[in-house]
Amino acid sequence: MIETILISARTIDQGATLEEKTSQAYFDAAAYCELNEGNLEALGVSVDQNVKVATAHGTVVVPAKIDARLPDDIVFIPMGPWANAIVDPDTCGCGMPGFKGVPATVEATTDPVLNMKDLMATYKE
Amino acid sequence: MPVIKDVVCTFCGCLCDDLEVTVEDNKITKVGKACKLGRAKTMGMFLHERIEKPMIRKNGKDSELEECSYDEAITKAAEILVAAKRPMSYGWCSTSCEAIEKAVVLAEETGSLLDSTANVCHGPSALATQEKGAPSCSLGTAKNYADLIIFWGCNPVHAHPRHQTRYSTMAKGAFTPNGKKDKKMVVVDPRNTDTAKKADLLLQLKPGSDYVLIESLRAIVNGHADILPDEIAGLPKAKVMELADMCKASKFGIIYFGMGITQTRGRYKSGDNVASLLSDLNQTNKFVMIGMRGHYNVTGFGQVAAWEAGFPMAIDFSRGSAYYNPGETGTNDVLMRREVDAFITGAADPGAHFPQESIKHLYKIPAIQVDGYANPTTEFSDVVIPAAIAGVECDGTAYRMDGQPIRMKKLIETTFKTDEEILTEIIAKVRELKGNGGA
C-alpha cells in the first residue's frame, strides 16, 4: 500500500465522451487511475491491473496506468463517477467540495471495477 | 453539399465561433476546425444514444423508466415541484441564456433553490470576485496584447484545446505578431501536464499550496523576498523568484486559472489572493485574470441569474425574494444536509460530477432530468425529459469565458422540444396546479 494524494481533473478523452456516459468509451476514459512507474512497482502492479484507491470518504476499484511525469505523492483519476466515489464532500463552507488534494491510499486488489450503472446503484441506501 | 460557416462550438467556455459544419439530409456529416471535444459534441446526436422519449418511474427508484408523452412527463415534473417543501433546481449551463431565464422563473415560481454547475467549478471564483474584484479583459484583447501567459491550475491541452491557438500562447496578436516567439508561457500545476510541455517555466508546486505560492509572489513583488524561506510550496525559492521576475518584465500579463485554484485548499481565498497579486502587479505593469470556464454557457448562467435575481448562483427563492449564501445555499451543501425534497436538473450531470454523499440523497428524493443523453443522473431520475441540443438543434445566446455574448446557430431540424420550451411548459403547469394559471 502507498500513501498518496488524490487529484481529479478533466482529460480530453473524458471530455470527448461526456455525451455517451453509458458507453464503453466513457468507461475507458474515466475509470482508471494514474501513478508514476515507481509507485506501480512499489505496489507490485502492472499496467491495467486493478488497484483499490481509498480515502476517508470511500473506496473505488480502477485499473492502474502510468503517467511517468507524475510526482511520487499524487494519484490521478479523471473527473467522473469513479473519482467522485472517493473525493472529499466537505465544501469548507463555500459551496465547493474537495475534488483535488484528498489524502488517499492505493493498494493492489483482485476486486472488479464497477461499471457506471453498478457504481451508481451503490448509492441507494 | 451545404456547409454552414462560423458555427459556434458548444462544448467549453472558449465558444470557438469558426466551425464549418457539413449538413446532408438533416444530418451533420463533417465538422471542420473543431477540436476533439467540439467534434464529439457537435456530431453527438449521430454518434451516441439519445434519450428518445420522455420517461417516468411509476413505482419508485427501483422500478424501470417507462416511456410516456411529453405532456405526461411535464405534468409529473410540475406535480413534484409543487408538492415539494424545499425543491432545488440545478445546472442549466450547457444550454442557452433564453432557457436559463426560464429556469430562473421556474425557481421563483416554486420557491426553489437555484444553482449552476459553477457549484463544482468556478463558484469560488465568483466569491473571489465579490471579495476582491477581478481585473479582466476580452480574449481579443488578451490575444493582441498579452506577452506573458500563466496557466494556473488548468490544463487547456485537455480541457480547452483551441484556447492556445485562438486566444493565448500560439495566437498571433497585433503586438505579438510572431505568436509564441513573442510570448512567455508559464504553467503552475502539481502535475507536469501536457500543457506544461511547451511552457517556458513550470512551477510544479505541492498539491494544495497555491495560496502559499500566490502570497510568496506578492511578497517578492512588493520587495520582501528576503523574508521568504528557501523552499516555497515545495519549490526552490529561485524558481518562484524567476516567475516574479517574468511578471515584472512583462508588458501585459494574464493569469488563466482553473480548478487548481477553485477546488483545492483555500478555495475562494486563493482566487481572492490572485486578484490581490494582480493589484500589486498593476502598480507598475498591466495584468488581468480570466477563469477557464468549463460548460460553454456557465458564464451565461451567472449573467442571466445576476440580472434576473441579483446573484450569479446558489440562489434561494424560498423566502419570496432572492437570498444568496453559497456555503449554505450551494447545491452540494443542501444535498449533504439532506435538506431538499425534490430536484430538477437540466443541461448538466450531477450524477457524474457530484461527490458520493450528495448522490446518496438524490436517490432518496424525487428527481427530474432534462437532457439529450442518458447519463449517471438518469439512474436516479424519476422523470426524464429529452431535450434538443442547444447550438445544434436550436439557436440561442451563450456567454464566452470572458463574458462576451455570442449567438449560437441552429444547424439541423429536430422533433425534440428545447430546454426553453420544456421549462416554459413546466412553468405553465406549475401555475395551473397552484391555481394561478391566468397570472
pLDDT tens-digit readout, B264-285 = 999 999 999 999 999 999 999 9
With pLDDT > 90 as the criterion, what percentage of chain B qualifies?
A: 97
Q: Quick check: A82 and A117 in contact, CB under 8 A?
A: no
* pLDDT of res. B49: 78
Residue of A84, A88, A115, A118 for testing the chain B interface, max B β-carbons within 10 Å: A84
pTM for the full predicted model:
0.97
B267 closest CB neighbour out of A16, A21, A96: A96
CB contact under 8 A, B356 and A15: no
A95 closest CB neighbour out of B123, B190, B372: B123
Q: Which three cell numbers stand for residue B389?
A: 441540443
Cα separation, A14 vs B62, in Å, equals: 29
A65 pLDDT above the threshold of 60? yes
User: Contacts by B170-175 with C-beta closer than 8 Å and gap 24+?
Assistant: B171/B143, B173/B143, B173/B144, B173/B145, B173/B146, B174/B144, B174/B145, B175/B144, B175/B145, B175/B147, B175/B251, B175/B252
With pLDDT > 90 as the criterion, what percentage of chain A qualifies?
A: 99
Nearest of A59, A74, A66 to residue A109 by alpha carbon = A59
B439 pLDDT above the threshold of 70? no
Cβ contacts of A39 within 8 Å, gap of 6 or more: A2, A4, A70, A72, A75, A106
Nearest-CA distance B344 → chain A (Å): 18
Cα separation, A54 vs A82, in Å, equals: 11
Residues of B in contact with A96 (CB under 8 A): 119-120, 123-124, 262-263, 267-268, 330, 332
Which numeric CATH code is attached to A2-121?
2.40.40.20
The secondary structure of B386-415, three-state, reads ECCCECCCECEEEECCCCCEEEECCCCCCC
B436 pLDDT above the threshold of 80? no
Least confident among A116-120, B33-37, B434-438 = B434-438
In chain A, domain spans: 2-121
User: How far out from the chain centre does Cα B17 lie?
Assistant: 18
DSSP structure string for B136-148: ---HHHHHHH-SE
B330 closest CB neighbour out of A16, A91, A100: A91
> CB distance from A77 to chain B under 8 Å?
no
- Above 0.90 for ipTM, yes or no? yes
> CB distance from A103 to chain B under 8 Å?
no
B198-234 confidence digits (pLDDT tens): 999 999 999 999 999 999 999 999 999 999 999 999 9
Which numeric CATH code is attached to B123-291?
3.40.228.10
In chain B, domain spans: 3-45, 51-120+296-434, 123-291
CB contact under 8 A, A11 and B363: no
CB contact under 8 A, B360 and A125: yes
CB contact under 8 A, B358 and A21: no
Q: Which three cell numbers stand for residue B39?
A: 467534434
Q: What does pLDDT average to over chain B? A: 97
A20-47 confidence digits (pLDDT tens): 999 999 999 999 999 999 999 999 999 9
Q: Quick check: B254 and B148 in contact, CB under 8 A?
A: yes
Nearest residue on chain B to A118, judged by CA atoms?
A: B379
Q: How many residues are given for chain A?
A: 125
Three-state DSSP at B240 gives: helix
With pLDDT > 70 as the criterion, what percentage of chain B qualifies?
A: 99
B325-347 confidence digits (pLDDT tens): 999 999 999 999 999 999 999 99
Three-state DSSP at B103 gives: helix
B177 pLDDT above the threshold of 60? yes
Residue of B131, B375, B380, B389 for testing the chain A interface, max A β-carbons within 10 Å: B375
CB contact under 8 A, A58 and B356: yes
Q: Give strand pairing partners of B187.
A: B151, B202
- CA torsion sign for B90, B96, B99, B101 is positive
Residue of B43, B115, B158 for testing the chain A interface, max A β-carbons within 10 Å: B158
Q: What does pLDDT average to over chain A? A: 97
A124 closest CB neighbour out of B61, B124, B374: B61
Q: Quick check: B190 and A7 in contact, CB under 8 A?
A: yes
From residue B435, give the alpha-carbon distance in Å to each of A100, B77, B180, B317, B438.
Answer: 47, 16, 63, 19, 8
* pLDDT of res. B437: 58
B60-83 confidence digits (pLDDT tens): 999 999 999 999 999 999 999 999
Q: Quick check: B292 and B155 in contact, CB under 8 A?
A: no
φ/ψ of residue B370, rounded to 5: -115, 110
* pLDDT of res. B48: 76
Nearest-CA distance B225 → chain A (Å): 27
> Mean pLDDT across the stretch B108-118?
98
Residues of A in contact with B324 (CB under 8 A): none
A91 closest CB neighbour out of B260, B332, B375: B332
Nearest of B181, B186, B205, B199 to residue B245 by alpha carbon = B186
User: Within 10 Å of residue B1's Cβ, how many Cβ atoms?
Assistant: 8
Three-state DSSP at B365 gives: coil
Q: Which fold has domain B51-120+296-434?
A: Rossmann fold (3.40.50)
CB contact under 8 A, B44 and A19: yes
> Mean pLDDT across the stretch B99-121?
98
Cα separation, A65 vs A43, in Å, equals: 12
Q: What one-letter code names the amino acid at B411? A: L
